[in-house]
Amino acid sequence: MKPTRLFDTDVPPPTERVILAGLLTSGTDPELFEIDMKEMRMLCATAGATIAQTVVQRRDAPVASTYLGPGKLAEICELMKQHKCKTVIIDAQLSPGQVRNIEKIVEGKVIDRAQLILDIFAKHARTNEARIQVELAQMKTLYPRLTHAWTHFSQQVGGIGTKGPGEKQLEVDRRIIQKKISDLNDRLKTIEKSRATQRKSRVGEFKVTLVGYTNVGKSSLLNALSGADVLVQNRLFATLDTATRRTFIPGAGEIVISDTVGFLRKLPPHLVASFKGTLEVVSQADLLLIVMDAASPWAAQQLATVNDVLADLSAGAIPRMLLFNKIDLVTDPVERKALLVANPDALLVSALSESDMALVKSRIAEVMQSYRKEAAIADIIAKKTQELTGWEEEKSGLPWDNKE
């Protein structure tokens, strides 16, 4: 049976026309704001929504109760009637109270950034683990939004021994969701035990992990480097599950290479937490291949986001190699030169080029050889230290070394 999603009734169906809204505050970098709005347009397209009009408001700070100002919300309400839209999507993480207040003003449905991303994740989840992770994130989103979500707040049952205020439906719903969250966490722990067993079989192998922004071509690189057939699509979050393959690197031997879920600015914290088990492959890697989109005008900002996420995953100290993929889309030699000047250690590659992939494998081989030399030196030092420690212990037991 196909699993149901909590937000099936809250997210615009395919081809539904929507109004997209954003708030540019005085403390927000206009360039970062433009990145966020472009991502929202891509997210809307991925979710199957058609943007009828984009509305941007400039304010010093958000309005506490409605995020956007009353005048702008009234304008959005008129635009929704004009374009026959029933949904407004706002680039923000709104509180339950803000959602309710905005819905009353615009007389329509309100979806925030977190809910939109969750719907996309739910659509793209294919494996059992991915579905559980998405459902867990959905439950954590739904829980705080239960407040005042019901009109039947108090249920009473007649009869002897049942006098009293009764149990509020809100409390029943919360308890059900808490139980569901607990069950989902237990199922994820079971899957993690299985993954830990798989990791034990890979002890001693050199592990490479592809990380980076969403839709930069990580899956294409995995296929090109390992001969895999992982799904490749030109859309956000096409891949949610970690794909791991073995491949041979000339001059170095066999490696294990993994692809991970892509990153994005302002990802919901509970979504990242739900995928923590999947992302553990990042912190356990011997080498990170950080993949960027060479054709993106915001590559620098996206790289900063990737570095922040890696730091949160305790992977900041792992050796890394920076790859600017899709270089075939950058035809201006000046732009290519600018990328190398800003990132002198980076490789400009295309997953479609066999020679570029051969270069990447060559660089991986160099890192592997260095890694093995350092490991051998560390092993020699550990053995010498153990020998000296044993000799000192043996020496302390000799008669002339006994001070008594």
249 and 191 co-located in one domain = no
Rg (CA), the chain: 27
Q: How many domains does the chain have?
A: 3
Q: What's the CATH number where 110 sits?
A: 3.40.50.11060
C-alpha closest to that of 135 among 250, 7, 40:
7
The two tokens of residue 346 are: 């980076």
Angle between helices 276-283 and 128-142 (to 10 degrees): 120
Query: Of 104, 120, 136, which one is at a domain's C-terminal end?
Result: 120
Do 364 and 274 fall into the same domain? yes
Dist. CA 196–CA 385, nearest whole Å: 31
| Residue 227 phi, psi dihedral angles, 5° rounding | 75, 20
Integer Cα distance of 139 and 135 in angstroms: 6
User: 320 vs 64, 290, 371, CA distance in Å?
Assistant: 42, 7, 12
Please tell me the distance from the alpha carbon of residue 130 to that of residue 115, in angstroms, as a whole number: 17
Average pLDDT of 284-301?
Answer: 90
Question: What confidence score (pLDDT) does residue 135 get?
Answer: 76
Specify if 404 maps to a domain: no
| 369 shares a domain with 341 | yes
Helix pair angle (96-106, 70-82), 10° resolution = 50
Residues in CB range of 3: below 8 A, 6 or more apart: 131, 135
Whether 250 contacts 361, CB under 8 Å? yes
- Give CA 142 to chain center in angstroms: 19
Question: Do 261 and 355 fall within a single domain?
Answer: yes
User: Where in the sequence is the domain holding 82, given as residue range(s)?
Assistant: 16-120
Answer yes or no: do 40 and 188 share one domain.
no
User: Is pTM, for the whole model, over 0.75?
Assistant: no
Domain membership of residue 319 (yes or no) is yes
Examine residue 1 and state whether it is found in any structural domain, yes or no: no
Residue 142, pLDDT score: 67
Residue 302, number of CB atoms within 10 A of its CB: 21
Q: In which band, very low, low, confident or very high, does the pLDDT at 354 lie, cut at 50, 70 and 90?
A: very high
The string of pLDDT tens digits covering residues 236-272 is: 665 556 778 889 988 888 899 988 877 777 776 666 6
Q: Are residues 213 and 135 in the same domain?
A: no
Is there a single domain that holds both residue 191 and residue 212? no
Please give the pLDDT value at position 391.
60
111 and 146 Cβ atoms separated by less than 8 Å: no
Tokens of residue 246, six digits: 């073995």
Same domain, 27 and 113: yes
How many residues are there in the chain? 404
Whether 101 and 135 map to the same domain: the answer is no
DSSP state of 7: T
**What digits encode the pLDDT tens for the residues 17-66?**
999 999 999 988 888 899 889 889 988 888 888 999 999 999 999 999 99
Residue 195: which pLDDT band, with cuts at 50, 70 and 90?
low
Rounded Cα–Cα distance for residues 315 and 9 (Å): 38
At residue 210, the pLDDT reads 92
Please return the burial class of 67, using the count of CB atoms within 10 Å of its CB with bins 0-12, 13-18 and 19+.
buried
Q: Could you write out the DSSP letters of every residue in 310-328?
A: HHHTT-TTS-EEEEEE-GG
Arithmetic mean of pLDDT over the chain: 79
Cα–Cα distance for residue pair 178/182, rounded to 1 Å: 6
- Per the domain annotation, does 116 fall within a domain? yes
In a domain, 159, yes or no: no
On whether both 230 and 369 belong to a single domain, the answer is yes
On whether both 223 and 270 belong to a single domain, the answer is yes
- Element holding 360 (H helix, E strand): helix 354-395
In the structure, what pLDDT confidence band is assigned to residue 144 with cuts at 50, 70 and 90?
A: low
Check pLDDT > 50 for residue 150.
Answer: no
Tell me which amino acid residue 382 is. A
CA–chain centroid gap for 370, Å, is 31
Give the CATH number of the domain where residue 228 resides: 3.40.50.300
Report whether 190 contacts 265 (CB < 8 A). no
- Nearest 5°: CA angle at 184, between 181 and 188? 135
Mean pLDDT on 366-378: 81
pLDDT at 124: 66
Whether residue 210 is found in the same domain as residue 313: yes
385 in a domain, yes or no?
no
β-pairing, 206-212 vs 287-293, is parallel
Q: In what order do the strands lie in the sheet with 320-325?
A: 243-249, 253-259, 206-212, 287-293, 320-325, 347-348
Instruction: Band the pLDDT of 395: cuts 50, 70, 90.
Output: low
Looking at residue 325, its pLDDT comes to: 95
- Identify whether 349 is part of a domain: yes
pLDDT in tens, 151-182: 333 344 443 333 444 446 666 677 777 787 78
Residue 161 lies in a domain: no
